[in-house]
Amino acid sequence: QSALTQPRSVSGSPGQSVTISCTGTSSDVGGYKYVSWYQQHPGKAPKLIMYDVSKRPSGVPDRFSGSKSGNTASLTISGLQAEDEADYYCCSYAGNYTFEVVFGGGAKLTVL
């Protein structure tokens, strides 16, 4: 399976909203409800911020929301804050004949 496609960079000003897209195929994003998102600050381990497309783990602010349409999943961050500046990775189950997980290439969010 190929990596999922994300924009290399996105940006927004404090208080604004940004959406990060994640495009796959009917064999991964489009075929299953198992899309997750991870936030990674420099030098740190990734942190789960969304799973099963639109579910937020405990402790993740409701400024973060997830959705999916067809083969594209999206992460929206509203009310941008400086600490949201990080890399964001989408991830999908991609099992057709075998269990497989694929990540997107990552999107760098810059808070202007």
Partner 1 sequence: QVQLQESGPGLVKPSETLSLTCTVSGGSISPYYWSWIRQPAGKGLEWIGRIYTSGSTNYNPSLKSRVTMSVDTSNNQFSLKLSSVTAADTAVYYCARDRGAANTLDYWGQGTLVTVSS
Residues that bind partner 1 (CB under 8 A): 1, 3, 32, 34-36, 38, 45-48, 51-52, 57, 89, 91-93, 95, 98-106
The single-letter code of the amino acid at 47 is: K
Minimum distance between the CB of residue 40 and partner 1, rounded to whole angstroms?
8
Minimum distance between the CB of residue 36 and partner 1, rounded to whole angstroms?
5
- Would you say 35 or 75 has its CB closer to partner 1? 35
Rounded CA-CA distance 21/72 in Å is 7
Comparing CA positions, the residue from 61, 74, 67, 98 lying closest to residue 4 is 74
Work out the number of other CB atoms within 10 angstroms of the CB of residue 36: 22
- Would you say 67 or 78 has its CB closer to partner 1? 67
DSSP state, residue 4:
B
Minimum distance between the CB of residue 60 and partner 1, rounded to whole angstroms?
11
